[in-house]
Every structure is written in structure tokens, then in C-alpha cells.
Amino acid sequence: MWPTSSILLTTPRRWSRASENLTPDTIRLDGVEKSFGAVQALAGVDLVVAAGECLGLVGHNGAGKSTLMHVLSGNLSPSAGTIAVGGQTYERGWNAAVTQSQGVRCVFQELSLCPNLTVAENARIVHAALKGVGWKDRAARLIRDKLDEIFPGHGIDAADEIANLAIGKRQMAEIARAFTVTEGALRLVILDEPTSSLDAVTARQLLAYIRKETARGTSIILISHLLGEILSASDRIVVMKDGRKVADRLAAEFTRNSLVAAMGSEAREHRRGAVRKAAGDVLVSVQPEPDGGAPLEARRGEVIGLTGLAGHGQTRMLLRIFEGRGAEVKAASAFIAGDRQSDGVFNLWSIGRNITVRSLRALRGGGLIDLAAEARLSEVWKEKMAIRTTDTANNILTLSGGNQQKALFARALASDAAIILMDDPMRGVDIGTKQEVYAMIRAEAEKGRTFIWYTTEIEELTHCDRAYVFRNGPIVATLSALELTEEKVLEASFAEHAA
Amino acid sequence: MNRRLLRQALPFLSLAIVLAATFYVQPRTMSYFGLNLMLQYAVPIALATVAQMFVITVNDLDLSIGPFVGLVSCIGATLLFENPSLGILALLSLVVLYGAVGALIHSRNLPSIVVTLGLSFVWAGIAVMILPSPGGKSPEWLKALMTFQMPVIPFPIIAAVMIGLVVQLALMHSSYGVIARGAGGNPKALSRAGWSMMNTKIAMYMLAGVFGVLSGLALLGLTTSGDAHVADRYTLYSIAGVILGGGEFIGGRVSPLGAVVGALTLALAGSFLIFLKISPDWQIGAQGAILIIVLALRALVTYGEQKR
């Protein structure tokens, strides 16, 4: 039997890591299946997480990672198979209330905080024990202490309303909340793309904390598209593909290339193409604000990177260009949102409508929208962007996150805009999709489109002709393609902090 | 930061301005009896507004609260007067019915506006069946309570402050109030944390039922006889009161104290317009204008806040 062998494989490891911890503090999945209608998202997954282990989980979009995570966190009940945790085996009746009481927590990629509540009140939501007289103070202390422990110097007040926090800080609050303990043990924390909105410093703080927490016996499942993160933080890595586990080995046995190979897409080296032809006329020029900094300029056919620590003025710059405030913009622009949920997709609309909404003016015929032309346009871009759907009339939410993002790219690229503004659009997008989009950006830039691209992933700057480094608002460094290295970017981002 | 404070203070400022204007137009209202007279009908409106606020907290809207208050006044003037235990049973079952409506709306994922709009006719129909024409009698204790003469401070003011403070404490400061507001802010997050959205909705609808009953009884104590249509305007008053008080239709952003203040403002605005000798035909329009002015002010403040 498979389950037995997987126990045998993992038990010695558990002894060696935490000899005093012999309790069955693991979660064990046996033959877990999940189907949505005809689609089988999980096709029999066996998974064991030992106490104090950090398990890396990787896979393409649609590999079943999210489904597996939703099953683990009790949001979806499996169609078949069993889940064993804390000495109890669940065949059915595995739900969010049970996972809470069993100490299984999950940090979802699309955050699960209530925006109308304060940080402390959000802590109360996951802790039934925080009640009675003085609960607010206890909740505030609980979350403040955890934030201090994980992200020293976080600058978040427990009385801050979530809606008033930047997305990076919201993510920090949610991560800290998942690690808080009141009554009952904390067994397993599932982190889904936890660093997607964090800057380099806070991401490093989190990875260091993962080490600390696992040493205390808590298990962690880490899902991330940043393979460096997975390789350095995990003890063991499970690779998923088509709803199955295709590899399960110690992290040390993987390299970046072997990991990508296991996921089923070829590892392409990030190399810059041939030196590009001389760029065209200036389309965007932004003079620095009175508080200093360098000017920004973008020419026709250029790919411009905006970098630096997350939330240091890059998005503000994009909005300035988009709205033409204090910026000289000589062509139409389109905006690709990074925060899909809040300013990207129209939740109730079809995929097609989501793609064509930026081009409706061009699709008019006699004052009305030419529906046939609209359908044609969305079909063309569905093909071009390889959006994985059978029908563009389906609701946008039927797509996986990566494919939703492709639809947002299609919306901008299908339009007449010559300038494409991108607000960290690759947040939580899988490698395969990224490669396809990178190629598309190259091709469109060759055709004369200008891209202004805010990215939190330094790797992505290799696609840029020039990058501007932001720090505390203004541009502090301008790096041409030849000087664009990780060291230079970090140096510019941190120069002041070192002093 | 200042703007945020300003937004929170806006309901209170509106009340102060309407109050000052009333005092200016009719200085005689600036007395114990004047205030008592002007504000006594604000108590049932405030209770209905709080009922509405519970429903708005979980992102729904109750278009049946007005006729419901009317129905309660009819039951109070007949059943409760003639047979107190049967009357209490009837009122309790109304509260349970409210909870059942919440359960239905949640489980079938129905639009609350449609369900409660339909229900408003059901309530009105039952009320007319109980009391075809205005009549009946208020129980003595209700009359006594509502016409209670407090020393120094008029009773309606004490009552309004008490209602506001109790609900403020329960919804904004208790640990269960957080769950209720969280259900409006992000229902998914709430169920992911193991809370039952169903139970939360039922609880909020039942609370709305409780405050609807209280509103009907308070109104009956003032009018001393039942009338099926006595509170038809309360539906819009209550929604306006919640919004005037700083609440928002979706997102679990409500303010109990603000809602009570909003209800007081609306009630006062009615008196103010009477003192201005504006004909009753124009009063609803004039009240609407006051509402629009206040909401426009709030929109301006919020807009400035976002722009920074």
C-alpha cells in the first residue's frame, strides 16, 4: 500500500530532526482526489508533512496546487481519500472549523483579511479564544508581538484598518496572523506565494522566520514561483503536475534547472537578445518632483523597468504617467494592474468582455458596439496569448490566476495604446506563463510599443532596456541595460539604509 | 488623518447644524418641553435605523422594516393589549421569522432587496388583517414608558444615547461584533476562519427583528393606538439614517452611534421644515435635499482623503 510506504519513508527523517518530538504531529493525505464536474483537479495525492519540516510545493498553473491547498485548509472537501491530523483520520467532515481547531492555517494568495477591520480585529477572527473583557488588548498584543518577531521594523499598528495599509503590509499582517497562537497547538501553516507582495528585505525576514518556526516543530508548506526561495527555504520539495505528485525529494537534490524540468517546462536561460536597434522618439518624459531625484524618459519601442523596494513610489509613477499629471505623455496608454482582485478583472464579466473593454471605442459601429467585431477581437487575443479556455464567453473567474493575468495583458495589448504601463503584473504567475508573456513583450516592443514595467522581481529587469531605481518616492538611479545587475539595483535601493 | 476624523464627525456636525437652525427659526424649542416634543418620535426612528443597520452590516438591505414596524404596532394595540402572553409570543415569533428570512436569503443566495420588498407587502397585509382601520389601544406600561418625564434632560435624548451606546458597544467593541462586521467586510475570510456565515446572517436578521419590534412598541407608546401604515416611511428613513450616520451599503462599514445621530437628524429636519412653514407636500423633497447635501459633503471629504 502506498500510504504505508510513505510513512516509512518519512519517519526516520522526523526522528533525526526533532528527537524529542515523537507525537504524530504530521498531516497525512492518502489518495486525496477532487473533481469539479468532469475536470479532475486532484487525481489521488499522497502527501506527508513531518513535524518541523518545511515542504516546498511547486507546479504550473492548473497543476493542482491551489486545489490541494484549499483541501488542506478545509475550504474544499475531497471527493475521495482521507486526511489524518492530530491522531484523527477524516474521511468526511473535514472543514474550515476542523482545520482551525487542529491548528492548520493558511495564508492565501488573494488575502483573507477583512478590509473594514483593524489588524487586531482581524486576529480575533481566527482566534475563537480572543473574547471576553480585554480581548482587544490581548489581540493587539498577540499580533504586535508576532509582527515584531517576524518583520522587525514593520511599521504596522495593531489599530490600523486593513483598508488603509499598502498591499505589502497587508500581506505581512496576514502572515503574522497565521503564526499567532492562543489555545491549541499550531501544527501546519500553508503559505501560498507569501512573498509576492513583499520587498526583498521583508521576504528575507520571512524566510529566516520559517527556519525559526520549523525548529519549534511547526510544519510549513511553502508554495512559491520564486524557485530560489523554494530551494533555499525548504527541506523537501514536492512537484505537482496535472493533479498528481510527480516528484518528492529532498531540496538538496534539486537544482533550479532540475526543478523546472520536473515541472515540465524547459528551463530557459535569461539572456538578453541582440542589441536593439536605436530607439525612436520620446513618448514619455517625467520631470522630477521638487524633492529631488532623476527624470524619467521612455522612447518608442523601449522596455523600461521601474525597480527598488516594493511600494517606494513605482506605482505612483505609473499612475502619474497614466493620468498625465506632471508628465509629458505623447501617446495613448493602457494600464495592466498587478492587484487583479481590486483593480484588474471585472468579476462578473466574461473573459471576452474583460479583454475588449479597453477597445470598445474602436469597436463601435453606428453608436453601438459591433458584437461580432468584439467577439473576433477577443478570439484573436485568446489565441495570441494562449489563454486556456474553451470559450471566451465563460466567466473570467473560471480561469486560473495566471490566465486571468494573461487576459489583462490581452486587454492592454488589444487596445490602441502605444504605451503599456505594468504594475508588477507577474505577481504569483507561473513560470510557463511568464515566459510566454516575456516573449510577447519583446515582440510588441519590436513593433514599436513602449513598456513601462514596475517589477518586484529583479530577474525580470533582464528584459528591460533601462531601469529606474526608486527609493522613498523619487528615482535615485538610472541603470542602462549594460549596467543592469542585481548588485547595482540592490546598492541603489539600500544605499541610504546602510549609512 | 484629519480628514478621517472629519468624516467621522460629519454626522454629529450635521445634527448640530440642523439643531442650531431649528433653534434659530423657533427659539421656543430650546427648552425641556420643546426638545421633548420635537425628539420623541426620533426614538422609534432610531430603533428602526439600528434594525436596518444590522442588515446593512452583512451587506443586505431591508425594504420591509417600515411595514414591519407598522405590523408590530398593530399586534401591540390588539393582541398584546388583550392577551399579553399571546402578544409576546406573537412578537417573538416575528423575530424568529426575521431570522428565517435571513437564512433563506443566505442559503438560496437571493437578493435581499427583492425578498424584503416582497415581505413588506406580507407584513402590511397581515397588519391590515389584524387591524383593518387604525384603532386598538396601547398597553398602559408602554404609554407610561414613552411619556416618561425625566428630570432636567428630556427622555428621548437619554433613550437615543442609551440605544446608541449599547449597540455601539455590542457591534464595535465586543468580540462578536467583530465577527458580524467581518462578515460584511470579507465573507470568504470569515468562513475560511471556521465561522458560519449562515449563523452570522441569522443572528443579524434576528437582531434587526428585535429592534424592529422595539421600534413598533415605542411608536405605539407614542401614538397610543395601532395603525398598519403608521411607519411606512420608516423604510427609507432607516436606510437614510444609516448612511447619514457614516455607514456604507457594502463592506461592513457601519457606525451605530452615527446611525442613531442620523435618525435624530432626519427627525429634527422634519420639525425644522414644519417651522419653516414648508407645506407637507414638499417636505419629503426637502428632506431628500438635506440628505443629498450631507452625502455630497461626505463624498467630498472621502475624495480628498483618497487623493491625499
CA atoms within 13 A on the CB side of B282: 8
A226–chain B Cβ distance below 8 A for any pair: no
Give pLDDT < 70 ranges for chain A. Answer: 1-25, 37-39, 60-62, 264-279, 428, 487, 490-491, 494-499
A265–chain B Cβ distance below 8 A for any pair: no
- Which residue is it, cell 423575530? B95
| Cβ separation A73–B192 shorter than 8 A | yes
Q: Is the dihedral of CA B134, B135, B141, B143 positive or negative?
A: positive
| Cβ separation B184–A116 shorter than 8 A | yes
Question: What does the pLDDT look like over A75-112, one tens digit per residue?
Answer: 888 999 999 988 888 988 888 888 988 899 999 877 78
Examine the pLDDT at B188 and tell me if it is beyond 50. Answer: yes
Nearest to A256 by CA among A283, A272, A237: A237
Report DSSP letters for A8-68, one per residue: HHHHHHHHHH-TT--S---EEEEEEEEEETTEEEEEEEEEEE-TT-EEEEEE-TTSSHHHH
pLDDT, position A16:
38
Q: Which of B175, B188, B252 faces A112 most closely, judged by CB atoms?
A: B188
Report residue B158 as a C-alpha cell.
Answer: 437619554
C-alpha dist (Å) from residue B287 to B8, B39, B272 = 22, 16, 10
Question: What does the pLDDT look like over B138-165, one tens digit per residue?
Answer: 999 999 999 888 888 999 999 999 999 9
Measure the CA–CA gap between A440 and B30, rounded to whole angstroms: 73
Three-state DSSP at A161 gives: strand
Nearest to B106 by CA among B187, B51, B44: B187
Closest-approach residue (CA) in chain B for A130? B175
CATH code (residue B33): 1.10.3470
Question: What does the pLDDT look like over A1-33, one tens digit per residue?
Answer: 344 444 444 444 433 333 334 445 579 999 999
pLDDT, position A60:
67
B185–chain A Cβ distance below 8 A for any pair: yes
B190–chain A Cβ distance below 8 A for any pair: yes
Q: Which residues of A touch B8 (CB under 8 A)?
A: none
A135–chain B Cβ distance below 8 A for any pair: yes
Specify the number of domains making up chain B: 1
Residue B308 lies inside a defined structural domain of this protein: no
A109–chain B Cβ distance below 8 A for any pair: no
| Cβ separation A113–B193 shorter than 8 A | no
Measure the CA–CA gap between A48 and B266, rounded to whole angstroms: 62
Q: Print burial letters for A447-483: b (CB count within 10 Å at least 16), e (below 16).
A: eebbbbbbbbbbebbbbbbbbbbbbebbbbbebebee
Nearest to A120 by CA among B248, B255, B182: B182
Question: What does the pLDDT look like over B208-223, one tens digit per residue?
Answer: 999 999 999 999 999 9
Residue B307 lies inside a defined structural domain of this protein: no
Amino acid type, A434: K
Closest-approach residue (CA) in chain B for A72? B192
Residues 67-106, chain A, touching B (beta carbon < 8 A): 73-75, 95-101, 106
pLDDT, position A264:
65
Q: Which of A96, A98, A128 faces B192 most closely, judged by CB atoms?
A: A96
Examine the pLDDT at B308 and tell me if it is beyond 60. Answer: no
pLDDT, position B130:
95
| Cβ separation A125–B191 shorter than 8 A | no
Q: Which of B173, B184, B189 faces A125 most closely, judged by CB atoms?
A: B189
Question: What does the pLDDT look like over B123-141, one tens digit per residue?
Answer: 999 999 999 999 999 999 9
Measure the CA–CA gap between A34 and A290, rounded to whole angstroms: 57
Residue B56 lies inside a defined structural domain of this protein: yes
Residue B241 lies inside a defined structural domain of this protein: yes
Give the strand order in the sheet containing A282-286: A296-299, A282-286, A327-329
Instruction: Give the pLDDT mean for B281-288.
Output: 81
Closest-approach residue (CA) in chain B for A115? B185
Beta carbons within 10 angstroms of residue B89's beta carbon = 13
Give helix B2-25 / helix B256-275 axis angle, nearest 10°.
Answer: 30
pLDDT, position B289:
86
Three-state DSSP at A216 gives: coil
B56–chain A Cβ distance below 8 A for any pair: no
C-alpha dist (Å) from residue B31 to B26, B39, B153 = 11, 12, 10
Q: Which residues of A touch B191 (CB under 8 A)?
A: 75, 96
Three-state DSSP at A395 gives: strand
Residues 212-241, chain B, touching A (beta carbon < 8 A): none
| Cβ separation A125–B179 shorter than 8 A | yes
Examine the pLDDT at B47 and tell me if it is beyond 90. Answer: yes
Three-state DSSP at A279 gives: coil
> B146 lies in which domain range?
2-302
A178–chain B Cβ distance below 8 A for any pair: no
